[in-house]
Structure 1
Amino acid sequence: MGAAPQQSPPAAPVPATQQMPDPAADQPIVPEAEFDKALPPLSSDINAPLEPMALEPVGTLPPPPVTPATGVVAATPKSAQPAPSGISSAAGTPTTPQDVSAELDRPLPPLATFDSTPFVTVADKTEKSPEIRYDTVVNGLDKVGLLDEFRAHSVLKKSGKAANAAVVSARAHEDEELAGRVMRSMGYYDGTAVATIETIPNEQGRVRAIVNATPGKQYHLGSVKVVADPTVPPDLIENALALKPGDPIEAGRVQGSEANVALVLPQNGYPFSKVGQRDILLDEQTLTGAYTLPVDIGARSSFGGFTTTGKLAFDAHHVGVLSRFKPGEIYDSRKVDDLRQALIATGLFSTASVEPVKTDRVGPDGTQQVDLLVRQVAGPKRSLAVSGGYSTGEGFKLEGSWTNRNLFPPEGALILNVTGGSQEQGAGATFKRSNAGKRDRTFSFGVAADHSNYDAYNAFTGTVFARLSYDSTPIWQKKFTWALGAELTGTNESVYDFGKPGNVRRTYFIAALPGQAQWDTTDSLLNPTKGYRVKLSLSPETSVQGKVSPYIRALTEVSGYYPISDSIVLAGRVRAASIDGISRDDLAPSRRYYGGGGGSVRGYGYQRLGPFDPNGNPVGGRSLNEFSLEARYRFGNFGIVPFFDGGNSYESSIPKGSDMRYGAGIGGRFYTNFGPLRFDVATPLNKRKGDGLIALYISIGQAF
């Protein structure tokens, strides 16, 4: 492409005393194209030094050579540089204006022949750039209690290093602005801050950054005004704002008060309220600020109905079952949050949200009714779970389950489970309806078959059961829970007959009505750190083995948790149990009480505390007493737990408290999102013949 025409620059004025006759005044005007030809060529080398422009024609300028391989324009040799008029070139041939004109007429080289790769300076990576170390001094902020707040966000910090002084200066400038913001956030609006950098004598490569702050006087609220329509009750906003004249104008205090207004209004019937932008007019003479807050409260509202949209897990009717409020009640955002938690606790959603929607309906009390729109995205219905453990006496045990949580909507689950272990094997199926007609109420029905082979007994058992309960969940833990059930069990078991004597097999048919109640004030189901639990279990039962033998099983357990520091929790438990109305020998071995094991007195094998037969095998008893003490020390996701346990089981229906057996040990914990993994090692303190020296327990969850 050709060069664009260049405009002729304006001529410099010539002083009057030096004006000369223009010899070209009578010459014809030179066309613009001819003028362009007379201009010197532009160098393609942008790094070449500028040459002085000669006032007379210059020598011939040969074209720059081009390297064939790369197309890079080579530097013009010194001998080829244009020479002033009247001086010969390197070849000794004088140049003429005609030669220059002919050279300018040549076409420019194509752009593609130029190499546009930027120059790169390769530095020696082994050479380290010199660093500047610095100390930071902050003056003035400690007097008003703002030094810690400043240091929490400081760029300089107390000390550090930088690549050069410019970096230290930039950081000091940022901290200078930070000091101003910190002072203004606490009401020191006249505060100033200046940052300086100074060298430290006799310490090369080290400087000191100094931030000098002058807070001045603190401003206080002169007046507080809320611009809003009347509320019910009338002082709702003022009480929630909690700002009064004379309070210091602190940003955190003001913002927290406004956030409280935005929280309290929806809790008291105003779901569509909006807190506007505050205005604070400062008076430099009185050091006060006039505070004004506009609030749009919206219409006072009450609960209406429910609507739902999205990929549904269940319909709007079942959403109403989960709610803890009735239509017509004054709107309360806390009850809406509770409903959202209940939806999450079902485990049926990938996402679920609840939001109020305006309607044109007016309730009997004159409030506007709002419907709750539930946006739901149903999650996967099926899940597979596997758990396992090991303990001395029980051996290895692996349990797996397959669940379809919503096979029978709403919330009708089918659970298939299987157990495999060195001493226990079994399978079962359970139908469970959660939130069955009422929030938090669960109905379950199932069948199970099991084979157990322990030192105490060998049993083949089949069970049909039904249960109605009010349960806790990890998301929504309840203080009071209960359960009522019914069981029909057929079991064939080996039993030691003291009358013959010897082992025989007997078949028992058992009908039971188990019930349980628990009061729980702890802060966690799986890993409590404070509070206590009281549990009572009661089960009237009838055993049919040649004759009908009614009896009652009872168990009471109390556990408590006390934090003595942020990382140490003392935990304790006591347990007592009794069976009344039947002799031990008429009772199926699987229904008797045994002590020992990971959930009982650690250090002893599973079911190995209590009476023994002549062969040295445990036969169980009709009563039990136990206690456990633990010191749970946690550091990060790990923990160490020393413990001390004691207890025994007895042939009598009332625990005697004599012949107590004690065990002690230490455990390790690995804390996960679903609960702690437990590794306990214990030893019996008053060891009997046949007891092992060490017992090991591995499972999920705390011992109690």
Structure 2
Amino acid sequence: MVLAPVSAHAQAAPDPQDNKPIVPDAEFDKALPPLSNDINAPLEPIPAAPPPQSAPLDPALDQPLAPITTFESTPLETTADVKDKAAPEIRYETATRGLEEIGLAGQFKSLSSLRSGGGKAANASQIRARAREDEALAVRLMKSLGYYDGTAVSVIEQVPNQPGMLRATVSATPGKLYHLGAINVVAPPTVPPGLIRAQLPLKTGDAIDAARIEGAEANVSLVLPQHGYPFAKVGQRDILLDETTLTGDYTLPVEPGARGSFGALRTTGDKVFSIKHLNVFRRFKPGDLYDVRMTDDLRKALAATALFNSISVEPVATGQPGPDGTELVDLLVRQRKGPSRSLAGTAGYGTGEGFKVEGTWTSRNMFPPEGALILGAIAGTQQQGASATFRRANAGQRDRTFSIIASANHQTYDAFNAITGSLAVRWSYDSTPLWQKKITYFYGAELTGTNESVYDFARGERVRRTYGIAALPTQIMFDTSDDLLNPTRGYRLKLNLSPETSVQGAVAPYVRAMLEGTFYYPVSSSLVIAGRARAGSIAGISRDDLAPSRRYYGGGGGSVRGFGYQRLGPLDPQGNPVGGRSLNEFSLEARYRFGNFGIVPFIDAGNAYESVLPKGGDLRYGAGIGGRFYTNFGPMRLDIATPLNPRKGDSRVALYISIGQAF
């Protein structure tokens, strides 16, 4: 506001009061209260005001209040509250411009407020609010790719020739793309030198892409703890933009912390395992350079015991010197006990095997540490049984298991009818999904008593005989495949060897052997060619002196599909299989996967023979197609097959349902 100057020559207007005071000075001074010269004197009392004249009361105020139920309590409706009423609902369509060219149209549509509204709104103000949110969204997305000058505007207009229909258009202008200029890492020296910059996959000239930059920084956070820096911290980046060069100088502060090596394990909480047993799980030695992958592996291995409600493993600085200039870092294991008992069950069906349901009750820590009692039962159309197992998991070494198994079974198949009791002890060193090993093995001892039906060729009839068998079974496997249940590359070699003695009237020692190889070749990301070859031999005993349950048979879901379970091999005059002393099998599959489903055409071949060594001729062939449904615990398998050169009595179609690939 500017004040205008007043002219010095202007004539003054006459004063209506003639410059007389409104209140004379004498009258004003008389009205003032007398003042005391004593500053400590008390203040004079304030005279009480006269009581106000009360107005007459409204008689209605003396009446009692009406009951609250007689009041109208319905809240007022707003425009946004109106639903399914007579108020008109506005419909609109959306359009986007300028984002398709920079590849953001799909991401914008998935996050758009206008699109999430489904083309309906209570009023035009709601559409405008959604459009403003989408403007801000478009700007954020453009900046995430390096378009820092990007702008977006929205327009809402009536759609021609469509009364009541609006169109909301969000138009984006990306502007120029900014690129990375200088890249600076602010951090103390590391071992090896330049470790941080080497793990930051950014270079000058790259677009300032937020997702790529965040991924590069996450890589630094991931790799440093893998190379001896458990307490590394990545700071807040700074990007200084230059509008003239369209570049941004990037600076990242990093605090790697002390370089560490593994120290000792500590534990706290509701202890399930002692320090002694916890040390069984670790795959590192004290003094090894710290690697967070080993820490995670320890935590996952402990969680896999299923004995914890929660388990955590975290590094703790000790300040004590370690080898090679490092600092010892202890691992603190926080335990919280969980339930140790469980029930489990499986079910399956196979042609020749019938339906089978198996259930187990397990107390995983009845005999600490990890001494489990497992009670199992099998009920099926052709097999029934029960078993009791003592199993000590991680027995002195991770993934080494000691077991004692007692079982009783009744099996009814075309090949034999057997009532069997056995007692076995076994040591095994196994692969797990957490730690798949190249070499695994088991060895043990087994005592079996079995009463079985067997065809006596000398008498020309089926008889029952009782056998006593002592065995020392052993297996070793070499595995380079990439997965236990669903391998896609690599190969496996497996050898089973079991020296045994059969007692049936006389002692007859013999040796059972089986060699198997499988391979997996990925033709593409969705197609894997898988193959298998297997050969077995039993030497040192005649077939007829061998218990039928210990002989080799071919056919079934894990053998030559298309033929019934154990149907391949020599037959008796009644057409029932009698088994043999040797076996050979071959399989080839094309495993095609799309998403969580797969199709697997296959062809199998093989046979069982009376001779000690398998023969190359007289192979039986089966072919078919399978379906796979892939789950987080392995593929569900359904195979349908038919024999290509069936014998008399063989079924035309065989069906197999199970979990896991055929091999």
> Shorter-chain TM-score category?
0.7 to 0.9
307-316 vs 692-701, which deviates more?
A: 692-701
Q: Distance in 2 between matches of 1:548 and 1:327?
A: 53
After superposition, the C-alpha distances for 1:419-477 in whole angstroms (9 at most, x for unaligned) are: 23333333222222211111222222222233333232233333222222221224443
* Shift in Å, 1:597: 2.2
* Shift in Å, 1:665: 4.4
Q: Distance in 1 between matches of 2:565 and 2:206?
A: 66
Equivalent of residue 117 in structure 1, options 73, 80, 95: 73
The CA RMSD over aligned residues, in Å, is: 3.2
Any conservation in 2 of the 1:136–1:158 contact (CA below 8 Å)?
no
Q: How does 1:380-419 map to 2 (within 5 A)?
A: 380-419=339-378
**2:107 equivalent to 1:107:** no
* Shift in Å, 1:331: 1.2
- Equivalent AA in structure 2 for residue 360 of structure 1: G
Equivalent of residue 612 in structure 1, options 562, 571, 578: 571
After superposition, the C-alpha distances for 1:230-286 in whole angstroms (9 at most, x for unaligned) are: 221221111122334333322122212221221122112221121111222222233
Change (3 A) 1:640 1:187: closer
Partner of 2:381: 422
**2:332 equivalent to 1:373:** yes
* Shift in Å, 1:305: 0.8
675-684 vs 427-436, which deviates more?
A: 675-684
Matched residue of 1:308: which SS? strand
Partner of 2:251: 292
After superposition, the C-alpha distances for 1:392-428 in whole angstroms (9 at most, x for unaligned) are: 3333333222221112221111222222333333322
Q: How does 1:477-488 map to 2 (within 5 A)?
A: 477-488=436-447
Partner of 2:299: 340
* Shift in Å, 1:354: 0.3
Change (3 A) 1:160 1:458: closer
Partner of 1:151: 109
Any conservation in 2 of the 1:137–1:208 contact (CA below 8 Å)?
no
- Equivalent AA in structure 1 for residue 274 of structure 2: D
Any conservation in 2 of the 1:134–1:159 contact (CA below 8 Å)?
no
* Shift in Å, 1:364: 4.5
498-507 vs 558-567, which deviates more?
A: 558-567
After superposition, the C-alpha distances for 1:35-72 in whole angstroms (9 at most, x for unaligned) are: x84xxxxxxxxxxxxxxxxxxxxxxxxxxxxxxxxxxx
Partner of 1:549: 508
Change (3 A) 1:156 1:392: same
* Shift in Å, 1:547: 4.1
Q: Distance in 2 between matches of 1:289 and 1:190?
A: 13
Partner of 1:456: 415
Equivalent of residue 142 in structure 2, options 172, 175, 183: 183
How many residues are treated as equivalent by the alignment? 611
Any conservation in 2 of the 1:627–1:646 contact (CA below 8 Å)?
yes
* Shift in Å, 1:607: 1.5
Q: How does 1:211-226 map to 2 (within 5 A)?
A: 211-226=170-185
Equivalent of residue 646 in structure 1, options 599, 602, 605: 605
Any conservation in 2 of the 1:137–1:158 contact (CA below 8 Å)?
no
Partner of 1:21: none
Any conservation in 1 of the 2:297–2:434 contact (CA below 8 Å)?
no
Matched residue of 1:355: which SS? strand
Any conservation in 2 of the 1:352–1:374 contact (CA below 8 Å)?
yes
Change (3 A) 1:494 1:171: same
Change (3 A) 1:273 1:120: closer
After superposition, the C-alpha distances for 1:131-155 in whole angstroms (9 at most, x for unaligned) are: 323130312x344444444334333
Q: Distance in 1 between matches of 2:66 and 2:317?
A: 68
* Shift in Å, 1:328: 1.4
Q: How does 1:45-194 map to 2 (within 5 A)?
A: 107=61, 115=71, 117-118=73-74, 125=84, 127=86, 129-139=88-98, 141-157=99-115, 161-163=119-121, 164-194=123-153
Partner of 1:596: 555
Any conservation in 2 of the 1:601–1:662 contact (CA below 8 Å)?
yes
621-630 vs 314-323, which deviates more?
A: 621-630
**2:168 equivalent to 1:209:** yes
TM-score normalised by length of structure 1: 0.78
Equivalent of residue 515 in structure 1, options 449, 453, 474: 474
- Equivalent AA in structure 2 for residue 652 of structure 1: S
Change (3 A) 1:253 1:568: closer
Q: Distance in 2 between matches of 1:498 and 1:483?
A: 37
Q: How does 1:262-273 map to 2 (within 5 A)?
A: 262-273=221-232
Partner of 1:655: 614
Any conservation in 2 of the 1:132–1:165 contact (CA below 8 Å)?
no
Q: Distance in 2 between matches of 1:292 and 1:321?
A: 44
- Equivalent AA in structure 1 for residue 359 of structure 2: G
Change (3 A) 1:330 1:674: closer
Matched residue of 1:249: which SS? coil
Amino-acid identity (%) = 64
Q: Distance in 2 between matches of 1:482 and 1:218?
A: 60
- Equivalent AA in structure 2 for residue 493 of structure 1: E
Q: Distance in 1 between matches of 2:108 and 2:345?
A: 51
Q: What stretches of structure 1 of length at least 5 have no aligned partner?
A: 1-15, 17-29, 38-101
Any conservation in 2 of the 1:136–1:157 contact (CA below 8 Å)?
no
After superposition, the C-alpha distances for 1:65-99 in whole angstroms (9 at most, x for unaligned) are: xxxxxxxxxxxxxxxxxxxxxxxxxxxxxxxxxxx
Change (3 A) 1:563 1:302: closer
Any conservation in 1 of the 2:601–2:625 contact (CA below 8 Å)?
yes
* Shift in Å, 1:120: 5.6
Q: What stretches of structure 2 of length at least 5 have no aligned partner?
A: 1-15, 17-48
Any conservation in 2 of the 1:186–1:250 contact (CA below 8 Å)?
yes
- Equivalent AA in structure 2 for residue 658 of structure 1: G
Change (3 A) 1:459 1:201: closer
* Shift in Å, 1:373: 0.7
Q: How does 1:219-234 map to 2 (within 5 A)?
A: 219-234=178-193
TM-score normalised by length of structure 2: 0.83
